[in-house]
Chains A and B, each alone.
Chain A
Amino acid sequence: MIRALLLWLAMAGAALAVQPDEILDDPVLEERARALSSDLRCLVCRNESIDESNAELARDLRLLVRERLVEGDTDDEVMEFIVARYGEYVLLSPPATGSTLILWFAGPAALLLGAGLAFAYARGRKSAPADSALSEAEEARVREILDD
């Protein structure tokens, strides 16, 4: 278990990712390939994109992405192609479908909730009675003492 961990960490340390022989000749396509690669997860690594990892599978996926781009697929078609073969686990940005919508909306929803609560609180404090720390009997006593 520890060995596997160390081996895996080793790959992280020696990450040399994109090799010179993978780079496409067309710079525009290469740019697209790099962008798409950074959104795809390396499936045998622990939390790295295929653009960063130097695992064999990562290299295969990088080549696959470039192959599809050279064949003329659009960015969406390439992603669909890969997801169809590897499952949605491979996407580093979870697609906003079904239950994942909760994830995407959680932030804005929490912000609205938080802002609403804060606003209500601040409005409350605006007109809160500057509180008198003394009760009526104490007020009377104070007046008595001051009149002396």
Chain B
Amino acid sequence: MVVELGHFALILAFVVAIVQMTLPLVGAWKGWRGWMAVAEPAATVQFFLLTYAFAALTYAFVTSDFSVRLVVANSHTLKPMLYKITGVWGNHEGSMLLWCLILAFFGALAAWFGGNLPDTLRARVLAVQASVGVAFLAFLIFTSNPFLRLANPPLDGRDLNPLLQDPGLAFHPPFLYVGYVGLSMAFSFAIAALIEGRVDAAWGRWVRPWTLLAWLNLTVGIALGSWWAYYELGWGGFWFWDPVENASFMPWLIAAALLHSAIVVEKREALKAWTILLAIFAFGFSLLGAFIVRSGVLTSVHAFANDPERGTYLLAITVLFVGGALTLYALRAGAMQAKGVFGLVSRESALVANNVLLAVACFVVFIGTIWPLIAEMIWDRKLSVGPPFFDAAFTPFMVALAILLPIGSILPWKRAKMERVMKPLWIALAVAFAVAALVWVAQTGRTLMAPIGALLGVWLVMGAMADLWTRTGRGGVGDKLRRVTRLPRADLGRVIAHAGFGITIFGIAALLAWEVEDIRVAQVGETYDVAGYAVTLEDVRDVQGPNYLSTMADIRMVRGDTDVLLSPEKRIYPVAGMPTTEAAIANGVFRDLYVVIGDPQEGGGFAVRTYIKPFANWIWAGCIIMAIGGIFSLTDRRFRVAAGARKAPVAGVPAE
């Protein structure tokens, strides 16, 4: 019953979305307030209906309702409860429902907190948001319906893919989706502005919080996915330039560029046409990402589903929305006039440079991702574009960005003198070089990667400190420290996020440069040395889990004061018939100890892989810090004061 109501709610939401898409647009065009006012309640109703539909599907999974086809394909009675719930979005249909729910959620947020927007703009934004919703709800209902039933329910399900029965992967999709789908709001704002024919400083301010919300969630989602790959896939790799990873990374790069160019629109009323274009592309890449992941057109580790029919539909949606948006852009972009004037050395120029670097970096990732497709279609060549290409082609852009960042964040608006700008930064530069030299000397005879990573990391973090230093006015350190807490949160957010970026860069460089790997056959009871650690394979035993059978090893690593017992496993999930490897990791601030147990070898021992991974956690810590910076920026006063502020009714003054 609940499931049928959920299905009905889904269809109803589709109808409401159609209404929300059409009436407000006509109302805004004709100036009919009544029709424009339909947008808000429609957005709220759509959100509640989809929440109910999602709750109904979750209920089906939690109660193991095997009359629902999706539950049979993805669940099992013995599966732990957490994974029964997260299994709702661990498949194509359920995750598509989550996508639609988040689309509706952002629409509802705009309806509830968009009181400060002019009526026509708000109506158009909600209408465009609803149009995206209509397209995806149609896709969901007609090609990927999660509520399809089986006439003869089986006694048990086929279990969720064991790789997905994992906390990291359980939470990775929701964060990622809030990110991807959140960019639809930026898109809606852009299209609404194009329809209105007006982009001004106020628009720049309105679009920013939505983009921030989406970007910070996308950062967390990507970090979670990377961290999951690190601990799950058995050798500690954390990024593979896989098409699906690239599909989430491209919107991240564009959203970052959008965040920065929206600042210029807000503060200086320049870069308007470019910002609108970025907003269109940000969501465009999200749509493209959905297409790449779900169509199977590119071979990937992650591919959800290989369904050409669904793929065609998604491609059609992408072409429709991006094509339509770009056509509208071509027609209307001329109406936007830049007002701000700025010199070649100025914050505006630095932000332009930031945008160029991020946009071209995104383009490089894009062309690398689709190149195999192009090469096969046009030149009939089957070739691969893998990590070696991406590492070589992409890294220079990040290095250039890191070099420019501290300078750009201190540059004043309009015009600047480089000598004055560099004054607080000389110390940062000196410390960065000193640390890099130290690293170079301390590591004996290895590559330049770690010193360069250290240089950039320290430069970024100290540059962020210098930024804070210049923002806190004159006076001694005491005065400055007191002023830090009174700085606008946007400034604190900027400093924190930039520092987080530096930490991530350093973490990546340090891990790649200094990682130690040891692969050998170890006998039970044998001790061997890895980078100063005495590693002992103490015991190997069989353990029964809730829905799996495991071979667990006890491995002890000792060095100086450190004495850890790690228990890596090799598991077999009988229902899915799949083996997985669970690495055992001793997490530390400065290093991770990572151990994997392999197959038993003839001759009695086991294949054991031992890794020492320095500064691994700095990578994801840096990402979390970037997201925290985003949260600070999001809660800046200028958004809180304006948001939701209804126009106070003006009290009439009696005539004297």
Partners in one complex: yes
- Chain A residues with a Cβ under 8 A of chain B: 1-2, 5-7, 9-10, 12-21, 23, 38-39, 41, 46-49, 52, 87-94, 98-100, 103-104, 106-107, 110-111, 114-115, 118, 121-123, 125-128, 130-131
Could you tell me which residues of chain B, from 567 to 611, have a CB within 8 Å of some CB in chain A? 570, 576, 578-581, 596, 598-599, 601, 607, 609
- Report the Cα distance A52→B386, complex, angstroms: 13
Residue-by-residue, is B298-312 near A (CB-CB < 8 Å gives 1, otherwise 0)? 011101001000000
Could you tell me which residues of chain B, from 43 to 67, have a CB within 8 Å of some CB in chain A? none
Residue-by-residue, is B55-81 near A (CB-CB < 8 Å gives 1, otherwise 0)? 000000000000000000100000000
CB-CB < 8 A to A106: which residues of B? 363-364, 367
* Interface range on chain B (Cβ under 8 Å from partner): 35 or more
Known: A47-B242, A94-B384, A103-B367. A14 touches B234 (CB 8 A): yes
Known: A23-B519, A92-B388, A130-B341. A122 touches B349 (CB 8 A): yes
- Report the Cα distance A10→B163, complex, angstroms: 8
Residue-by-residue, is B487-511 near A (CB-CB < 8 Å gives 1, otherwise 0)? 0000000000000000000000000
- Report the Cα distance A17→B598, complex, angstroms: 10
29 A–B pairs (Cβ distance < 8 Å), ordered by A: A9-B163, A9-B578, A13-B580, A14-B234, A14-B581, A16-B598, A17-B234, A20-B520, A21-B521, A46-B300, A47-B243, A47-B299, A49-B386, A49-B387, A89-B382, A92-B387, A94-B375, A94-B389, A99-B381, A103-B367, A103-B385, A111-B397, A115-B356, A122-B348, A122-B349, A123-B344, A125-B338, A125-B340, A131-B337
Among B237, B384, B393, B397, the residue within 8 A (CB) of A52 is B237
| Minimum C-beta distance from B576 to chain A (A) | 6
B580–A91 touching, CB < 8 Å? no
- Report the Cα distance A137→B161, complex, angstroms: 74
Could you list 20 further interchain pairs (A-B, Cβ under 8 angstroms) beyond the known A15-B581, A107-B393, A122-B344?
Answer: A5-B306, A12-B233, A15-B234, A19-B519, A19-B598, A39-B388, A46-B300, A47-B240, A47-B386, A49-B387, A52-B233, A87-B382, A89-B384, A93-B385, A98-B381, A99-B378, A106-B364, A107-B364, A114-B359, A115-B356
A128–B570 touching, CB < 8 Å? no
- Report the Cα distance A100→B548, complex, angstroms: 47
CB-CB < 8 A to A100: which residues of B? 371, 375, 381, 383
CB-CB < 8 A to A20: which residues of B? 519-521, 601, 607
Residue-by-residue, is B177-210 near A (CB-CB < 8 Å gives 1, otherwise 0)? 0000000000000000000000000000000000
B382–A118 touching, CB < 8 Å? no
B371–A94 touching, CB < 8 Å? yes
Residue of A with least CB distance to B166: A13
B353 within 8 A of A: yes
- Where chain B touches its partner, the secondary structure class is mixed
B598–A125 touching, CB < 8 Å? no
CB-CB < 8 A to A104: which residues of B? 393
B578–A122 touching, CB < 8 Å? no
B371–A122 touching, CB < 8 Å? no
CB-CB < 8 A to B355: which residues of A? 118
B352 within 8 A of A: yes
- Report the Cα distance A2→B70, complex, angstroms: 13
Known: A41-B386, A92-B384. A14 touches B580 (CB 8 A): yes
- Report the 5 A-B pairs with minimum CB-CB distance, sorted nearest first: A92-B386, A93-B388, A107-B364, A114-B356, A10-B578
Residue of A with least CB distance to B356: A114
- Report the Cα distance A61→B73, complex, angstroms: 36
CB-CB < 8 A to A91: which residues of B? 383-384
Residue of B with least CB distance to A131: B339
CB-CB < 8 A to B382: which residues of A? 87-89
B386–A93 touching, CB < 8 Å? yes
